Amino acid sequence: MTQGHLSRGRLSLAVSFFVQGAVFALLVTRIPAIQDRYGVSDALLPVFLAAVPVLAGLGSVGTEHMVKRVRPSVVLRWAQPVVCLSLLAAGGVHGLAQLALALAAFGLAVGALDASMNMLGVSLQRAYGRSIMLSFHAAYSLGGIVGASLAWAGAHWDLALVTLYGPVVAVLLPLALVASRWYVDASPTGTGEGERGEASGDPVSMKLLLPLCLVMAFAYIGDSTVSNWSAKYLQDVLGSSEQLATVPYNVYMVTTLLGRSVGDLGVRRFGAVAVVRAGTVAAAAGFVVVAVAPGAWSGIAGFTLLGLGLCVLVPQTFAAAGRRFPQASDTAIARLNIFNYVGFLIGSPLVGALGDAWSYRGAMIVPMLLVLVTLVYARSFAAGDDRYGGGHERSRAVDVG
């Protein structure tokens, strides 16, 4: 596989991560506007919100079986347009039934998209022979910042959802389709052949995968705590203004981007285990700062630290699954990806219930303790025979950027 081939594959996949980050942010940040447009009651809204990750989990399960017959790049090439068009439909259809269908399509497609994107990322990292996985998730974070900024602009100028989503999809959808021409399915040996035709029987031991599944779920519980509760926490607990309460999530996203942009260098220099441990300790410290913060700005400092810590965990968990199951990484990643949605489903209701029954300060300790479990499983991130991601990455067969 040539240097140009791998470099184009890396860039095209980064574009896919960017597009997905932007589209997802445009959906979740405009949930209140969607609720108002379609008259979704407060009682019905949680059902709609829970259905999306449940269906995404089913989409990830389906992808596990699809990639035994077709390459992950094929799944991604068709799933991403469906996600984009589903976003547009969510802003432009008429009636609750049509909205439900649009969100169902979004959920199923996003599960396939998340799984196949990370399959390609792990296989490309294997072909590179060094850590590049964090750079893809940095592109996702950048897309999230762009999408959230566009959503803010739409809310500021009171744009109709279809008016906001239409031009964005008109740009992002062709961009994703053009980029998909250069996706690379790299095999364990880096020859460009995918992992098709796996041996009979289950190629992935769930006993070995379970520690990574728990880390994934707990990382997303922490992430959903920030995305769903940071604004309310700052305003209701720390007494900030409504405007200042919007700052923590924006800062969290920026620090996530910064952490992921330099994270691969840390993995190459110190190894995946050290980076994961450092990220876990930083995230736990961030939760502590938030829980004891005397005022708004110290709370923002805590959420900033959270972003720097949590940002490395998810990309490195996918990478670790690829190393642990080098001949069946597609299967491992599809199953691991389900716990992304498990954490998302659990996180927000868990913190809300604890906050109402106890206190929101106390509720911040629970995701902190769950994230700290990662320290127990940190050795699961150690490099295997491939030796990349362990501070002594193997010599590069191909020297790429």
Closest C-alpha to 98, from 83, 86, 82, 111: 86
Question: CA 52 to CA 152: how far, in whole Å?
Answer: 23
Predicted model pTM:
0.91
Provide the 8-state DSSP code for 391.
Answer: S
Give residue 198's pLDDT: 43
Give residue 201's pLDDT: 66
Closest C-alpha to 107, from 152, 47, 166, 163: 47
| Same fold? 1-185, 204-391 | yes
Alpha helices in 233-310 (DSSP H): 247-270, 272-292, 296-310
How do the residues of the chain divide into helix, strand and coil, expressed in percent and rounded to 5? 80, 0, 20
Give residue 1's pLDDT: 64
- Please identify, in words, the CATH class of the domain defined by 204-391: mainly alpha
Give residue 11's pLDDT: 97
Give residue 195's pLDDT: 43
Sorted by where each begins, the domain ranges of the chain are 1-185, 204-391
Give residue 384's pLDDT: 62
Question: CA 162 to CA 355: how far, in whole Å?
Answer: 35
Question: What's CA 122's distance to the chain center, in Å?
Answer: 14
Among all chains, which residue has been given the structure tokens 């990455």?
Answer: 393
State both tokens at 311: 């940002």
Give residue 187's pLDDT: 56
Question: CA 170 to CA 85: how far, in whole Å?
Answer: 10
Domain 1-185 of CATH type 1.10.357.10: no
Number of C-beta neighbours around residue 152 at 10 A: 14
Three-class secondary structure of residue 269 per DSSP: helix
State both tokens at 99: 């909205």
How big is the CA angle at 67 (ends 322 and 325), to the nearest 5 degrees?
20
Return averaged pLDDT per consecutive 10 residues of the chain, 401 residues in all: 86 98 92 91 89 96 95 97 98 95 97 98 94 97 93 90 96 97 72 42 87 97 93 92 86 94 96 97 98 96 96 97 93 96 93 93 96 96 61 41 35
- On whether the CB atoms of residues 86 and 31 are closer than 8 A, the answer is no
Alpha helices in 39-194 (DSSP H): 45-66, 72-92, 96-128, 133-156, 161-179
